[in-house]
């Protein structure tokens, strides 16, 4: 068999042009690797101040490849959320990322918007220029379905708003469930709520959708209030962010400043980094400690609608009627459906955030 190159006592000598093609392919592969190794995510969002911070983190992290942004109503209306998402991808010069509108309201209840916390424009009243990017004409849940089928077992869903779009996608095409790599949601709490005593806002804003998502049967991580309320964006981090400049750096700084001042008005020393936590976990799962448990979403309680009820001990007592009373006859195991984040290395997370955003 003829060798394409000949080994001599000196350096390798090449005798065939295919070797050069081989070399070029190797080089191309080396440059292509970082992009293909990045985790493909779909960011589902209701932007939203902390949504904005989360998106800036995602767009500035080489570990992530944002394949699409789908917009859900929540902090603001669907229309305003779409406008905000388009303006942000434009600011980032990323018109290549499809931005699609999704559901226009929660599945079974009226929308509750949160300009009270996020400012009149949803972005902490920070103005950014109109978008150069165009909206993708596909319906958000359909886009999710298409992208999951196009890259089976490769897409991580990162929903950071009410779970309406994700529930829609699952209901429309349940075959996506085993094809999704994982779902990392910002939402829920196993230790009390932030809209009332029991519920976290994203779950409260569409409990039926959340229950569909939690019961779907895919690998699900819940980054809830246990993470966001521990990771406080304080003046120290804001000052670090203010030392550098650039369009995304300055925008993030201004939004974070609004969030911090709003939190200070309510007696906190920092802004809870809710949505960025889900993105940070996609980048580096070692930032959090998780516990596997079965989570159900309460959809009926007078005081608990929207609560994420986590079964910490993995079982339910089995009661059997004996005459006029029930007798506990054993404990039925319940299968975990969620990795609940129970702790976070807050400083490492916040340092990661600041270092990625700095211009």
Binding site for Ca ion (CB under 5 A): 46, 48, 51, 160-161, 275
Rank residues 44 and 65 by Cβ distance to ligand BDR and give the closer one.
Answer: 44
3-state secondary structure of 128: coil
Asked if residue 50 binds ligand BDR (CB under 6 A), the reply is yes
Among 200, 206, 250, 307, binds ligand BDR (CB under 6 A): 200
Options 81-89, 200-208, 262-270, 351-359: segment touching ligand BDR (CB under 6 A): 200-208
Return the percent helix, strand and coil in the chain, to nearest 5. 40, 25, 35
Each residue of 98-113: b (16+ CB within 10 Å) or e? bbbbbbeebbeeebeb
Tell me how far apart the 2 most distant CA atoms of the chain are, in Å: 96
Among 275, 288, 338, 354, binds ligand BDR (CB under 6 A): 275
Asked if residue 194 binds ligand BDR (CB under 6 A), the reply is yes
Options 46-54, 63-71, 131-139, 342-350: segment touching ligand BDR (CB under 6 A): 46-54
Asked if residue 112 binds ligand BDR (CB under 6 A), the reply is no
Asked if residue 70 binds ligand BDR (CB under 6 A), the reply is no
| Contact indicator for 198, 81 with CB cutoff of 8 Å | no
Rank residues 59 and 158 by Cβ distance to ligand BDR and give the closer one.
Answer: 158
* Rounded Cα–Cα distance for residues 213 and 202 (Å): 12
* Rounded Cα–Cα distance for residues 355 and 60 (Å): 10
Rank residues 50 and 298 by Cβ distance to Ca ion and give the closer one.
Answer: 50
Structure tokens at 33: 């690797």
Which of Ca ion, ligand BDR, none sits in contact with 114, Cβ below 5 to 8 A by type?
ligand BDR
Contacts of 181 (CB under 8 A, 6+ apart): 39, 40, 153, 154, 155, 156, 219
Which positions touch ligand BDR (CB under 6 A)? 48, 50-51, 75, 114, 117, 160-161, 186, 194, 200-202, 274-275
């Amino acid at each position: 068999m003829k060798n394409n190159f000949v080994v001599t006592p000196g350096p390798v000598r090449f005798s065939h042009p295919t070797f050069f093609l081989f070399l070029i392919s190797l080089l191309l592969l080396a440059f292509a690797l970082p992009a293909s190794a990045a985790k493909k995510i779909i960011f589902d969002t209701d932007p939203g101040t902390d949504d904005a911070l989360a998106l800036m983190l995602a767009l500035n992290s080489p570990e992530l490849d944002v394949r699409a942004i789908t917009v859900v109503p929540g902090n603001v209306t669907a229309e305003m959320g779409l406008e905000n998402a388009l303006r942000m991808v434009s600011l980032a010069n990323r018109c290549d990322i499809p931005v699609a509108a999704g559901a226009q309201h929660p599945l079974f209840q009226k929308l509750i918007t949160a300009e009270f916390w996020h400012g009149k424009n949803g972005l902490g009243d920070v103005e950014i220029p109109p978008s150069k990017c165009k909206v993708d004409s596909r319906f958000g849940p359909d886009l999710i379905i298409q992208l999951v089928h196009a890259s089976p077992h490769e897409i991580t869903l990162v929903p950071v708003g009410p779970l309406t779009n994700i529930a829609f996608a699952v209901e429309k095409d349940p075959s996506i469930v085993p094809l999704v790599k994982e779902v990392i949601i910002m939402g829920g709490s196993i230790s009390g709520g932030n809209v009332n005593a029991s519920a976290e806002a994203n779950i409260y804003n569409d409990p039926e959708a959340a229950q569909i998502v939690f019961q779907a049967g895919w690998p699900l991580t819940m980054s809830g209030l246990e993470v966001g309320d521990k990771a406080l964006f304080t003046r120290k981090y804001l000052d670090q962010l203010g030392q550098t400049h650039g369009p995304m750096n300055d925008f993030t700084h201004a939004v974070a400043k609004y969030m911090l001042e709003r939190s200070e008005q309510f007696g906190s020393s920092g802004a809870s980094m809710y949505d960025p936590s889900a993105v940070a976990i996609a980048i580096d799962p070692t930032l959090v400690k998780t516990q596997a448990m079965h989570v159900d979403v309460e959809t009926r309680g007078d005081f608990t609608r929207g609560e994420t009820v986590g079964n910490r001990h993995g079982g339910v007592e089995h009661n059997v009627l004996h005459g006029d009373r029930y007798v506990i006859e054993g404990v039925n195991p319940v299968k975990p459906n969620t990795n609940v984040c129970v702790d976070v290395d807050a400083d490492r997370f916040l340092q990661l955030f600041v270092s990625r955003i700095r211009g």
